[in-house]
C-alpha cells in the first residue's frame, strides 16, 4: 500500500518537526517546498535511523546525530566569498 506524498513548507517543518518525523516513520513521503519551489523530498529508508527511532527529538537522538556528523569526511565549502550578495541570492533561485 503506497501512501500519498504530502507537500509542506520549510516553516511548517520547523514548527512541527516531531510530527513530520512520525509521519516519515509510518511510511509517509514528504516534499519540502522553499519559496514555492521543491527543495527536497523526504522518505524513510531504515527503521533504525536516529531520526525515526522511538527517542526522536530527545537529547539521546541529538547526541547520536552529533557523533554521526563529526564522523563525516570534511567537505569543500559551497559558499563563494568572492560573490556579491546579488549573485549569491541569484544562485539560490536556481533550486
42: domain range?
Answer: 5-92
How many domains in the chain?
Answer: 1
Let me know if 21 is exposed, middle or buried by CB neighbors in 10 A (0-12, 13-18, 19+).
buried
- Predicted confidence at residue 46, as pLDDT, reads 59
> What percentage of the chain has pLDDT greater than the value 70?
83
- Give the pTM: 0.44
Dump pLDDT digits (tens) for 4-16.
888 999 899 889 8
Nearest to 69 by CA among 79, 78, 61: 61
CATH code for the domain in which residue 60 is found: 3.40.1620.10
> What number is the average pLDDT over the span 57-74?
82
Amino acid at each position: 500500500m503506497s501512501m500519498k506524498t504530502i507537500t509542506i513548507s520549510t516553516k511548517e517543518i520547523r514548527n512541527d518537526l516531531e510530527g513530520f518525523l512520525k509521519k516519515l516513520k509510518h511510511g509517509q513521503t514528504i516534499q519540502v517546498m522553499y519559496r514555492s519551489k521543491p527543495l527536497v523530498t523526504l522518505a524513510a529508508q531504515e527503521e533504525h535511523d536516529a531520526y525515526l527511532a522511538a527517542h526522536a527529538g530527545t537529547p539521546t537522538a541529538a547526541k547520536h546525530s552529533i557523533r554521526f556528523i563529526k564522523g563525516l569526511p570534511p567537505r569543500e565549502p559551497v559558499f563563494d566569498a568572492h560573490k556579491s550578495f546579488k549573485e549569491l541570492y541569484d544562485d539560490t533561485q536556481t533550486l
